[in-house]
Structure 1
Amino acid sequence: MTTTDSFMQALQQAEQTGNVDALVALHAPDVTLRNLTTQTWEGQDGARAFWEAYLSAFDRIRSEFTRSQENDGLGVMEWEATGQVKGGHELAYRGVSLIDIEDGQVKTFRTYYDSAAFVEPAASH
Structure 2
Amino acid sequence: MSKASEFIEALHRIEESGDVEPMARLFAPDAELSNPTVSRPLHGPDGARNFWRSYRHTFGEVRSEFRCVVESDEAAILEWTSRGKLSHGGEFSYDGVSVIEHPAGAIRRFKAYFDPRALGLQLEHAA
TM-score normalised to the size of structure 1? 0.90
SS of 1:58's partner is: coil
Alignment partners' CA distance in 1, 2:31 and 2:86: 27
Q: 1:56, 1:86 within 8 Å by CA — same for their partners in 2? A: no
Q: What is the alpha-carbon root mean square deviation over aligned residues?
A: 1.7
Displacement, 1:103?
2.1
Displacement, 1:89?
2.3
Aligned length: 123
Which of residues 113, 116, 119 in structure 2 aligns to 1:117?
119
Q: 2:30, 2:44 within 8 Å by CA — same for their partners in 1? A: yes
Alignment partners' CA distance in 2, 1:63 and 1:10: 11
Corresponding residue for residue 34 of structure 2 = 34
Q: Which residue identity lines up with residue 42 of structure 1 in the other structure?
A: H
Corresponding residue for residue 12 of structure 2 = 12
If each structure's strand is expressed as a fraction of its own residues, which one has the higher value? 1
Alignment partners' CA distance in 1, 2:87 and 2:50: 17
SS of 2:42's partner is: strand
Corresponding residue for residue 23 of structure 1 = 23
If each structure's helix is expressed as a fraction of its own residues, which one has the higher value? 2
Alignment partners' CA distance in 2, 1:98 and 1:27: 13
Q: 1:94, 1:113 within 8 Å by CA — same for their partners in 2? A: yes
Q: Which runs of 5+ in 1 are unaligned?
A: none
Q: Which residue identity lines up with residue 39 of structure 1 in the other structure?
A: R
Q: Which runs of 4+ in 1 moved over 3 A?
A: none
Alignment partners' CA distance in 2, 1:88 and 1:102: 41
Alignment partners' CA distance in 2, 1:74 and 1:23: 16
Q: How has the CA–CA distance of structure 1 residues 39 and 87 changed in structure 2, closer, same or farther, with 3 Å as cutoff?
A: farther
Q: 2:69, 2:78 within 8 Å by CA — same for their partners in 1? A: yes
Identity %: 38
1:55-78 deviation per Cα after TM superposition (whole angstroms, max 9, x unaligned): 010101100011101114111000
TM-score normalised to the size of structure 2? 0.89
Q: Which residue identity lines up with residue 15 of structure 1 in the other structure?
A: E
Q: 1:33, 1:40 within 8 Å by CA — same for their partners in 2? A: yes
Q: Which runs of 5+ in 2 are unaligned?
A: none
